[in-house]
Structure 1
Amino acid sequence: MDERLGRYPADASLHLVDDFTEENCLEIHQPTRQRMPFVFNSPHSGRTYPRGFLESSRLDTLQIRRSEDAFVDELFASVVAQGMPLIRALFPRAYLDVNREPYELDPKMFRGRLPPFANIRSVRVAGGLGTIARVVGERQDIYSGPLDVSEGLSRIETLYKPYHRALRRVLAETHVAFGHAVLIDCHSMPSSVRGHDAQSRPDFILGDRYGTSCSADISEAATAILKGMGYRVAHNRPYAGGFITEHYGRPAKGLHALQLEINRALYMDEHRHCPHGGFERVAADMATFAHHLTAIPDHDLPAQPIAAE
């Protein structure tokens, strides 16, 4: 085994696989009976790494894991017992990012020609954070050399497309059952992130694409609940929501999407990449948050039929 895999002693939470298949790339935790029209999603908390990916990276495991929304899936695990599905990626964001367009790719990263429909000029690609990221953390390059185009396209087929098929299916089933569906897209952010001004460091940032991805009742209720718990909450800055929030949020059709970012310092040691003593409190608060948020009256969430495809 490459020495980089053993360089980080507190790596019990990291799992290794030889490769991914559609069967081992995600998990859908379903309640015995779904009681509310809410779906929770954790697309960036994956910590199962292909051995070859780690061995070929120029970074050690601690460095490469800085892009994880670490343990966010565990913070929201209680929603399943409350009667709501929880979807989580098992693959890491550094390997493939489902919160991007499917082909948001940097041609400089690859040997060979990308398909003509690839989006090679987005702001996220320019920053090294496309569907297949070039960097993690403080602009640290992941790869020591270019990837074959076939490798990048294979990750999209094996991981990206199955993940979004699963997410669409769960949202559609929820919409059919309740007449509307609310997606809570769960993320974490470095403690260094600032909110509306240079001095404030929020505990949570809620993103609704500036009011376009979900009902104002949901955003306002989420803000009020978190502030009522004593947390500092920012809205849309600097995170207004990524591809998932923008793509699935269609309030006029009864499909709502809200992105939630948690300050990692609240629940984990960012340097050692492990939970600290605040983890249990935050997990309990997220259970309370979900309980109160899902109590929004149905009449505040307009129901619309899903058009036949």
Structure 2
Amino acid sequence: MKVVTGFEDTPAYEILAPSRLRLPFVFNSPHSGRCYPLNFLNASKLEAPAIRRSEDAYVDELFMPAVARGAPLVRAHFPRAFLDVNREPYELDPKMFEDRLPAYANIRSIRVAGGLGTIARIVGEAQEIYRGRLCINEVLSRIETIYKPYHRTLRRLLAETHVTFGYAVLIDCHSMPSTIRNADGGRRPDFILGDRYGTSCSASLVDAAFESLNAMGYAVSRNKPYAGGFITEHYGRPAKGLHALQIEVNRGLYMDEQSMEKSEGFQRLANDIACFVAEFTSLPASGMDLGAIAAE
């Protein structure tokens, strides 16, 4: 965790770009940010590490091998508790604000009802973030100065990749609590692949990701309980040669969820993900058809 004065001087996010674009992939880590603005911390009733419970800690590091292979990686520095770019731009809870929300705000989404809108109300086990109500202008500033530029960056990278290769694959990288279990109550998943129930990504890509991770000995499930959020849904257009796949990694594999420190399992998982990235990103070169006519 790093405390910053704000994101005027500290970059809100960055692109880790390869020396040369060699792959039709864009990797994204929107929830791994760990730079907390001082004003945000002062407005919160939570102490660290409680406020960090929604971080996808170290996920950006785990998927860093993609850059050396020739794909860009976008990573957030702002924390998810401060702003969630995996939501619509204006999924806002009116009960959180002093002022009236704009008419275009989506105040009735399931995510808003659950306290996890664009500006989250809670972290972890329903822990309330803020001491009092927020000023809508300050929140709209977060959306204008961070959310919208972040998504413009994603769109630009995907467009450049699509033009270069004729298709593009967005891998949206996340982590999940170790308490998550399979929908049938069986073995907890190590990875969950989300493709919005087959609508955001080529089935052949999802099958290949499943088989690769499963062959390494990991328990892999699909879409339950995480099918992909706004990013996967918004950018996945297989019929146009734009594919989006969300990958959730079980935090229990690589970190102590109480101290937020890396565990002994971190390096092993990092090595396995490096192997997975190398194998998975080589698939289109082997003849897999992912162009605009390849909607499945």
Q: TM-score, normalised by structure 1?
A: 0.92
Deviating beyond 6 angstroms after TM superposition, the runs of 4 or more aligned structure 1 residues are none
Supply the distance in 2 between the matched residues of 1:73 and 1:156 (Cα, whole angstroms). 22
Pairing 1:38–2:25 present: yes
Q: Pick from 163, 171, 174: which aligns with 1:187?
A: 174
Q: How does 1:150-229 map to 2 (within 5 A)?
A: 150-229=137-216
Where does structure 2 lack aligned partners over 5 or more consecutive residues?
none
The aligned amino acid for 1:109 is M
**C-alpha contact (below 8 Å) 2:90/2:105 kept by paired residues:** yes
Partner Cα distance (1:220, 1:22) in 2: 43
**Residue matched to 1:264:** 251
Task: Report the CA distance between 1:79 and its aligned residue.
Answer: 1.1
CA RMSD of aligned residues (A): 1.2
Distance 2:290 2:173 in 1: 23
Q: What one-letter code is carried by the residue in structure 2 that aligns with 1:58?
A: K
Superposition pairs of residues 50-61 of structure 1, within 5 angstroms = 50-61=37-48
Q: Name the aligned partner's letter for residue 35 of structure 2.
A: T
Q: Which residue of 2 aligns with 1:99?
A: 86
Deviations 1:123-144 (A, max 9, x none): 0000000000000000000001
Output aligned runs, 1:76-155, within 5 Å: 76-155=63-142
Contact 1:22-1:162 within 8 A present in 2 as well = no
Could you tell me whether the CA contact under 8 Å between 1:22 and 1:159 is conserved in 2?
A: no
Q: How does 1:226-265 map to 2 (within 5 A)?
A: 226-265=213-252
Residues 1:304 and 2:296 are matched in the alignment: no
Q: Could you say if the C-alpha distance between residues 292 and 22 of structure 1 is closer, same or farther in structure 2, counting changes exceeding 3 Å?
A: farther
**Amino acid in structure 2 at the alignment position of 1:95:** F
CA distance in 1, matches of 2:289, 2:243: 9
Establish whether residue 294 from structure 1 lines up as the match of residue 281 from structure 2.
Answer: yes
Deviation sequence 1:204-249 (CA, Å, 0-9, x none): 0000000000000110000000000000001000000000000000
Separation in 2, partners of 1:233, 1:161: 33
Structure 1 residue 67 corresponds to structure 2 residue 50? no
Whether the 8 Å contact between 2:43 and 2:132 is mirrored in structure 1 is no
TM-score of the superposed pair, with normalisation by structure 2: 0.96
Q: Please tell me whether the aligned partners of residues 215 and 301 of structure 1 are also in contact (alpha carbons under 8 angstroms).
A: no
Deviates more, 1:289-298 or 1:202-211: 289-298
The answer to whether the 8 A contact 1:54-1:61 is kept is no
User: How far apart are residue 195 of structure 1 and its match?
Assistant: 1.6
Take 1:264 and 1:20, find their aligned partners in 2: how far apart are those partners?
28
Q: Give 1:168's aligned amino acid.
A: R
